[in-house]
Chains A and B, each alone.
Chain A
Amino acid sequence: MAGGYHLPDSRGRFGAYGGRYVPETLMEPLIELEEAYKRLRDERSFREELDVLLRDYAGRPTPLYYAERLTKELGGAKIYLKREDLAFTGAHKINNALGQALLAKRMGKTRLVAETGAGQHGVATATVAARMGFRCTVYMGAEDMARQAVNVYRMRLLGAEVKRVDSGSKTLKDAINEALRDWATNVRDTHYLLGSAVGPHPYPMIVRDFQSVIGREIRAQILEREGRLPDLVVACVGGGSNAIGTFYPFIEDRDVKLVGVEAGGEGLETGRHAASLVGGSPGILHGMYSYVMQDEYGQIRTTHSVSAGLDYPGVGPEHAFLKEMGRAEYVAVGDRAALEAFLTLTRLEGIMPALEPAHAIAYIMDVAPTMRRDDIIVLTLSGRGDKDLDIVSRSLGGLF
């Protein structure tokens, strides 16, 4: 793949970003994980087992759908949607969960811990735990448990223990803290199945690699359909896993513009947002050196987004690097615009997106009309919206 682009380096760095800033107890487990992954990723039986699961269990490849009515309505570039909402369990999270669970099995682990924000990664982890016979604990912030209640029930039905996190902002950030504490306590039999391209090395690399199936499929599908690569590739960015999985196979294609859409919440000027790359600064959180939302004293700030999956004060280190190199561009879209985009896509295409990718839809609603009719946009629709119907109905004020 990507000929000249070989990151992270041996120290887990993407340029200055990344690294491994964790309590000593987690250092050896991370090194072990890195070694096991590097050994297994090229092993034929591992690849084959994963490919079969991705195909027969997760339903891959997911379709690349030409959104004809949305394209006409916006009157500009042709818009394709990569339908990760059709992947099993309803989001891209299953790609990474399957890969890491197989890895954990080969490493002889018997228990999985995970964090979850929107609940999609928790559901994906609980699902693969059921499928492969792991014990499973998922940490979830109290606020997220309230706003994504359906997913909490799904996880419990699948046999996972869902642990409520009441510390800090009671969202994804605090769930990751708790999962790290659990992992440090139970390292000998437990794998931490981290759900985004964040955290200490090797997680940003592993999660990227397992999610890159999205970008590889897009590449093959668009070449088949259009005979050329897209002009613009767009994905939403929480921790950045669906975005890096989408971008990675295009990094060397300089003519393909890459745009990541972060959560602008109530507006960047209000401080109530979750746009780490657009509105944050470099710092250390959850074992990585990357962009974080922090105050002038280095305390991590509480974030806000209507979408639980984007409500996180950090971002994967590879995105920090791509931003700094100017290879990808990052923008922020607020709660309101995301909700409007949710409704637009629902009404024009009959597709209810999760609120996370609704942010990306809102962005292309702005830029598609400024592009030419023979330009091509591909947007990763990272998940489906069922989990968000409560929030949507509340936010739309009983409109329906």
Chain B
Amino acid sequence: MSNISKVFKDSLASGRVVLIGYLTAGDPSLEQTRIYAEALVEGGVDVLELGVPFSDPVADGVTIQASAQRALAAGTKLLDVLRLSSTIKKSLKTPIVILSYLNPIYRMGFRKFFEEAGSSGVDGVVVPDLPVEESTEFREEARRAGVDTILLASPTTSEDRLDLILRASQGFVYLVSLLGVTGVRRELSPEALRILERVRARRERPYVAVGFGVSSPDHVKALVKGGAEGVIVGSALVKIVEENLDNPSKCLEQLRSFAARLKEATKF
């Protein structure tokens, strides 16, 4: 059982869903990301998702787009993000998932990437522009390195393709809660509960976590009630970073306390 699956198992056994927190690595600097990541874990985040900045993030809304721009301007590279994972893993056992668009990984080479990722303590990888049909070689290399490939499913996914995705996804399956891109939303999309129900109805399936637009403790509560086993919060955390660029200590405090409030909402 992978580290990620184990966190799901243990967390669910103790009456909570898994809280996954996203930060763009290198926004505003790698060192700050390390400090913020530790604050999130102190606040109660169970799995850290570190984003690799990309010039053309088509699945992201304005908040993560701007964050990626800041991280790129600071010179953040894929290898730096892997090094950061390795540094974080020296003091924390928290599983780390890398989120990257495909091209930076392709450019490094799948094998080299997974060797580096494996030796940096990375537990899983999410690639928003890699659908299951194109993922065979990628998953093969991931498996060799003992890294989970986490696939996405969305409200538009057909039953047939959902089968393929649930069979291939490792660690958990990442459910996109809405039609569209990442970003803070006031309301939880009604699509979220529908796709969740469709996945929960399957007998053979990996753990299921919901992301995109999950922005508040209320959203988390609704998802817990809808049967989610994990929740992924991204833009809402990145927004805190963005709003406190000139005040790192306030940022750290807000990240910690927001994570703690989200954590409260993960109980079922």
Contacts and interface: CB of A to CB of B under 8 A. Distances in A.
Given A20-B133, A21-B131, A299-B72, A294 B56 contact: no
Contact of B128 (A23, A174, A294): A23
Given A22-B129, A27-B157, A185-B181, A298 B152 contact: no
Interface stretch (B1-9, B32-40, B98-106, B245-253): B98-106
Given A184-B181, A187-B156, A23 B56 contact: no
Contacts of A20: 131, 133-134
Contacts of B58: 22-23, 177, 180-181, 286
A285 interface: yes
Interface size grouping (class) on chain B: 35 or more
Nearest to A27: B131
Contacts of B151: 24
A75 interface: no
Interface centre among A188, A294, A297 (most CB of B within 10 A): A297
A173 B56 CA distance: 8
Given A168-B55, A177-B56, A283 B156 contact: no
Contact of B102 (A184, A284, A299): A284
Interface string B33-69: 0000000000000000000001111110100010001
Interface in A25-70: 25-29, 31
Contacts of B129: 21-23, 284, 287
B154 interface: yes
Nearest to B101: A284
A294 B107 CA distance: 9
Interface string B57-94: 11101000100010010000110000000000000000
A297 B56 contact: no
Interface centre among B77, B102, B134, B151 (most CB of A within 10 A): B134
A284 B106 contact: yes
B119 to A, nearest CB: 19
Interface SS of chain A: helix, strand, loop or mixed?
mixed
Interface centre among B105, B153, B155, B181 (most CB of A within 10 A): B181
Contact of A184 (B108, B161, B180): B180
A285 B157 contact: no
Contacts of B155: 25
Contacts of B131: 20-22, 24, 27
B77 A187 contact: no
Contacts of B165: 24
A251 B79 CA distance: 42
Interface in A182-209: 184-188
A11 interface: yes
A19 interface: yes
Interface of B: 54-59, 61, 65, 69, 72, 77-78, 101-108, 128-131, 133-134, 151-158, 161, 165, 176, 179-181
Given A24-B131, A27-B157, A286-B56, 10 more contacts: A26-B156, A168-B55, A173-B56, A181-B58, A184-B179, A187-B156, A187-B179, A284-B129, A297-B107, A300-B55
Closest 9 pairs (CB-CB, A-B): A298-B107, A185-B180, A298-B104, A25-B154, A298-B103, A23-B59, A24-B154, A24-B152, A300-B55
7 contacts: A21-B102, A24-B131, A24-B152, A24-B165, A181-B59, A185-B181, A298-B108
